Structure 1
Amino acid sequence: MQPELIYEDDYLVAAYKPEGWLVHRSAIDHHETRFLLQYLRDLTGCHLYPIHRLDKPTSGVIVFGKSGGIAAQVQAQLEGDASVKKYIAICRGYCPEEGVIDYPLPPVADFKHQRKRPKTELPRQEAVTLFRRLGTIELPFEVDRYPSSRYSLVEIELKTGRRHQIRRHFKHIHHPLIGCPKYGKSVHNRFFAEHFGCGRLLLHALSLELDHPVIGERLKLVAPPRGCFLSLIENFGWQLPE
């Protein structure tokens, strides 16, 4: 699956990022060859500046600036209350109909020198996630220790932007996301990969709403899920939010 432009003007570029693509080169993954930033630079013929990021296994909407100044203005919006960042995800179990997860998180240690530090030395940072349940399904398969298995489609709004925040928060409330090897549950991940042919992380950045830094109008950038994620939603009879 290839990236696709969903918005472009003289100041901004927004695109759909497929799962499995890095936003830019990173020492965390030396072997990856697919970089969204370089792909979009070649596609648009413009030098682009990253504003925010999506993890490699996460798909969805991402935006870049065509100058450092524009990127800084939009980044300030994303770090405050002027923007709205919404995701969808599939989690294990019937999660509550709606809720707020207000649970501080320590920084994620990506490198060996960081992992050597005791966890008690890593200060926790404020982290707030809002969610509402969009749909549920009970499947007649004994995946874990029950004769059937339940799952939920969830709409999520980030109020803060900590690393792996959604995945860590849903693990905290005992409804881990499907397809997450780090914070999920392997038996459910394998079930979706083997039974539905969907081995990816089922987390997708659905929309990003912000004020245009120059024109001033409100932009709502939307990219529906694709591939096996979309097939699951359709097969389970779920509806995406408006």
Structure 2
Amino acid sequence: MLEVVFHDEYFVAVNKPAGMLVHRSWLDKHETQFVMQTLRDQIGQHVFPLHRLDRPTSGVLIFALSSEVASQVMPMFANHEMNKTYHAIVRGWIEESGRLDYDLKVELDKIADKHAEQEKEPQQAITDYRPIEKVEIPRSTGRFPTTRYCLMELKPLTGRKHQLRRHMAHLRHPIVGDTTHGDGKHNKLFREVYDSHRLLLHASQLEFIHPYSKEYISIDAKVDQTWLRIYEEFGWKI
């Protein structure tokens, strides 16, 4: 059962578990569980995705309940009228809030995009970031006897593929558990010491003005047990 965090006559939103694909893909032929099919069976009607979350990312994922609503609302995402807030645990300490405006080249999948134009111009990508908590643990991942981590609030102002993961890596503060853009030593430490086998990136909140009722909507999704265990270990407030 998926956790439904919002449901009205136009939309339904769930707290997507980490590791679950949004929809069926020929790139993952062996998978049997998908958010779209599971949610459709759970609420007894078809759902239409309005955006996506990467497979390893958890958190708020919203669907339209008809194709008409989907076609009308999709531009809200394209125009960034849906405000998204993420939380992430990153390597090292970031002491101050900031905005990263750093263009990203289009990431192409070797199989799915093999016929796509290979050399596209980098696209503008902007992320606001704010440190919330930090910790220094008595474990070494290299030259120093201790290792530092930071809990970050991230707000993407554009929607590029893997934007948050790539932006944090660009700042030399990769997200823990990122096997593509991250740091293997830190990923290994979290697996072995904290039993964390996932990307520590969570879509915590989605805010928007409802296109039909004109009400302000804020949808929140709680973190999973892996996050709660780490918060407790580090003495961080939930």
Same-fold status (TM-score > 0.5): yes
Does residue 191 of the first structure (1) align with residue 189 of the second (2)?
Answer: yes
Structure 2 partner of 1:86: 85
- What is the CA-CA distance between 1:209 and the residue it aligns to? 0.4
The one-character-per-residue Cα deviations of 1:116-137 (angstroms, maximum 9, x if unpaired) are 9896x23211110101000100
Cα RMSD after superposing both structures: 1.7
- What is the CA-CA distance between 1:111 and the residue it aligns to? 2.9
Describe the SS at the equivalent of 1:28: helix
Describe the SS at the equivalent of 1:78: helix
Structure 2 length-normalised TM? 0.95
Letter of the structure 1 residue corresponding to residue 233 of structure 2:
N
Q: Distance in 1 between matches of 2:143 and 2:76?
A: 45
Q: Give the gaps of 5 or more residues in structure 1.
A: none
Aligned counterparts, 1:210-229, within 5 A:
210-229=208-227
The one-character-per-residue Cα deviations of 1:153-209 (angstroms, maximum 9, x if unpaired) are 000001011110000000001000000100000010010000010111000000000
Structure 1 partner of 2:59: 60
- What is the CA-CA distance between 1:238 and the residue it aligns to? 1.9
Structure 2 partner of 1:141: 139
- What is the CA-CA distance between 1:83 and the residue it aligns to? 2.1
Q: Alpha carbons of 1:13 and 1:116: their partners in 2 closer, same or farther (altered >3 Å)?
A: closer
The one-character-per-residue Cα deviations of 1:78-101 (angstroms, maximum 9, x if unpaired) are 222422100000000002321111
Q: Distance in 1 between matches of 2:228 and 2:73?
A: 29
Q: Distance in 2 between matches of 1:141 and 1:65?
A: 46
Describe the SS at the equivalent of 2:73: helix
Contact 1:92 1:176 in 2 (8 A): yes
Contact 2:205 2:218 in 1 (8 A): yes
Letter of the structure 2 residue corresponding to residue 68 of structure 1:
S
Structure 1 length-normalised TM? 0.93
Aligned counterparts, 1:158-197, within 5 A:
158-197=156-195
Contact 1:28 1:111 in 2 (8 A): no
Letter of the structure 2 residue corresponding to residue 185 of structure 1:
D
Letter of the structure 2 residue corresponding to residue 155 of structure 1:
E
Q: Distance in 1 between matches of 2:129 and 2:235?
A: 20
Q: Alpha carbons of 1:115 and 1:169: their partners in 2 closer, same or farther (altered >3 Å)?
A: farther
Contact 1:84 1:210 in 2 (8 A): yes
Contact 1:134 1:238 in 2 (8 A): no
Structure 1 partner of 2:104: 105
The one-character-per-residue Cα deviations of 1:101-122 (angstroms, maximum 9, x if unpaired) are 1111111111337469896x23
Number of residue equivalences: 238
Structure 1 partner of 2:235: 237
Q: Distance in 2 between matches of 1:27 and 1:122?
A: 25
Q: Give the gaps of 5 or more residues in structure 2.
A: none
Letter of the structure 2 residue corresponding to residue 140 of structure 1:
P
Describe the SS at the equivalent of 2:62: strand
- What is the CA-CA distance between 1:146 and the residue it aligns to? 1.3
